[in-house]
Structure formats: structure tokens, C-alpha cells
Amino acid sequence: MNSDVALKLTNVHLTYPVRKSSPKSVKRLFSLFSRRKDEITATLSDINLEIMKGEIIGVLGHNGAGKSTLLRLLSGIYQPDKGSVQVNGKISLLASLGTGFQRDLSGRDNIVLSGSLHGLPIEKVRALVPSIILFSGLEDSIDKPLRTYSSGMRARLGFSIVAHLDPEILLFDEVFAVGDSSFRARSKQRIAEMVNGDSTVIIVTHNEQLIRDMCTRVICIDGGELVLDTTDTELAISEYHKNSDKRDLK
């Protein structure tokens, strides 16, 4: 793979259940590891995509189109049934805040745990702890158990951790806005810093303005297929609307 390429998907195919069903007969129990015929599935089919280092890609598509599944494939959470996913660099998926949080541990202990689960060496996370605490603005409650935190405080701590991960490839599954107005402003600034740095960024969002403001290239997904890949953001947004209208008519 060319060293300027951050991510490369070649003929990627993945079938995944949309609604989970449980086996109802003994016969079906024997087909445990194969796909069951009664299962309602969706498919990401024949995805070919090459993303260069430093690109900021927006992913558009209606709910259930396969956007989040694509991000999980890129981050290594899902593996393709067919084809290959090649990754050149450290990758982080930011899909929710407070990953791996343990409510009975203190905020400080949760920083170390969550940071380590995101793939940072423990020593590095420990070195980042003061900066994370400062960014979160939770100095007074950082040694209290997480169960005493409000949901806003938990989200602030979660965002402060992911803001310090410093990955080479950053995947956002819906951009978040948490905390009070001052924290939201700092969050927005930090996201912009991450996006404007050297990182390769892929953003899944329904926020068209965000696509216009940040993305250099947009891909549209519909029914598990990559229907458009363009640097013209307006074209991508209008294609997204067309697909949504078709879907509404159906």
C-alpha cells in the first residue's frame, strides 16, 4: 500500500443482522455459526475506497444505510466477510463518551481505564491524567466515585479523554456537544484542532453544515452501497436529499 494512503478497502463485503432473531427450533441450533435464513440482514457490498492521509471525509446516508457499520469495519471492530481493510496508522473511533467507565471507580481511575482501553499505554495515560482533569474542569470531583457524577459531568470526562487520544486516523460517529456553553466551546475548538491537524478524519453525521465547513471529500452510502464519492460537497448533499426523498416515497 502506498505510504500516503491512510485507509484502503478492497471489495469489502459484510452482512450484518438488522434485527436479531433467536433460534426457535433444535434444527436451527445446529446452524449456529452460519447465517440463518429467517434473520433480517443488511449488507455492505463491494465497497472499494482509498483514503489518503490528511483527508477529511464526510459520510452521508439515511438511518440504517450502513454508515456506522462502515466505521466499525474501518476501526477493526467488525471484520469483513470478503475483501480486505488495510489501515496505515493508529486509529480511534469516537462513537460515544465514557467507553469502559466503571461507576464505582473514581473519575481519576476511570481516566486510566478508559484511556488504556482506547489503546494508549498505561504510562502515557497516567502522564496525561493532569491535562485531562484540567480540560474536563472536574478538579474538585475527580477522586469521587463516578456514580456521584451527573450525566453532564460523565460526558465531560468522556470527551476530555477522547480529546487526548491523539490518533493518526480519527473516526467520528456523530459529533457530540456536551456540557455547559463554555465546555461546548472548548470541545468544538478541540475537535477543530484534531480535524485541522495531521490526522485523517472520517465524520459520520446528518449535520450538513458540518460537512460544508469541514470536509474535503464526501461519500454517500445507500442500502449498503457506496453510491457517490466526490469532492463536491453540494453535489453529495443534494444526492443525499434525493436518496432520502426516494426512501420517503417508498
Partner 1 sequence: MDVYARPSFFRGPFISFQSILKNRSLLSLMVRRDLKVTYGDYFLGYAWTLLEPIFFTMVFFLVFVILRGNPDKLLPLNIMLGILIFSAFSKTVSKGSSQLIRNSSLIQQVSFPRELLIANVSGFQFVRLLLSLIIVPIYMIYMGISFSWTIVLLPISIFGIILLAHGFSLMLCIIVVFVRDMNMVVDIGLRALFFLSGVFYSATYIPAEYLDYHLMNPVATYIEICRGAVLGDLSIVTPFVILRAVGITFLVFVFGSSIFNRYQNRAVIHL
Q: Is 71 exposed, middle or buried (0-12, 13-18, 19+ CB in 10 A)?
A: buried
Q: Side chain identity at 49, as an amino acid letter?
A: L
> Quick check: 8 and 52 in contact, CB under 8 A?
no
Interface with partner 1 (CB under 8 A), residue from 4, 11, 121, 192: 121
Q: Does 77 bind partner 1 (CB under 8 A)?
A: yes
> Which residues within the stretch 161-180 sit at the binding site for partner 1 (CB under 8 A)?
none
Q: Which residues of 32-161 form beta strands (DSSP E)? A: 40-52, 56-60, 82-87, 91-94
Beta bridge partners of 204: 59, 173
Q: Does 93 bind partner 1 (CB under 8 A)?
A: yes
Tell me how far, at minimum, the Cβ of 212 lies from partner 1, in Å.
Answer: 28
CA dist 82 → 23, 74, 98, 186 (Å)? 25, 14, 32, 42
Contact segment (CB under 8 A) with partner 1 among 54-62, 86-94, 132-140, 198-206 equals 86-94
Q: Does 38 bind partner 1 (CB under 8 A)?
A: no
Interface with partner 1 (CB under 8 A), residue from 70, 112, 211, 237: 112
Q: Does 223 bind partner 1 (CB under 8 A)?
A: no
Interface with partner 1 (CB under 8 A), residue from 32, 37, 38, 182: 32
Q: Does 105 bind partner 1 (CB under 8 A)?
A: yes
User: Which residue lies nearer to partner 1 by CB, 85 or 220?
Assistant: 85
Phi-psi label, residue 19: left if phi above 0, alpha if psi -120 to 50, beta otherwise: beta
Tell me how far, at minimum, the Cβ of 51 lies from partner 1, in Å.
Answer: 14
Interface with partner 1 (CB under 8 A), residue from 51, 56, 87, 142: 87
Interface with partner 1 (CB under 8 A), residue from 4, 11, 64, 119: 119
CA dist 17 → 30, 40, 106, 203 (Å)? 19, 6, 37, 23
Query: Quick count: other Cβ atoms within 10 Å of Cβ 66?
Result: 25
How many residues belong to the site for partner 1 (CB under 8 A)? Answer: 41
What is the distance between the alpha carbons of residues 233 and 219, in angstroms, rounded to a whole number?
A: 9
What is the distance between the alpha carbons of residues 186 and 178, in angstroms, rounded to a whole number?
A: 10
What is the distance between the alpha carbons of residues 241 and 218, in angstroms, rounded to a whole number?
A: 14
> Quick check: 146 and 105 in contact, CB under 8 A?
yes
Tell me how far, at minimum, the Cβ of 44 lies from partner 1, in Å.
Answer: 11
Contact segment (CB under 8 A) with partner 1 among 16-24, 149-157, 193-201, 220-228 equals 16-24
Judged by the rule CB under 8 A, the positions of this chain that interact with partner 1 are 1, 14, 16-17, 20, 22-23, 29, 32-33, 72-73, 75-80, 84-88, 91, 93, 95-96, 99-100, 102, 104-105, 109, 112-113, 116-119, 121-122
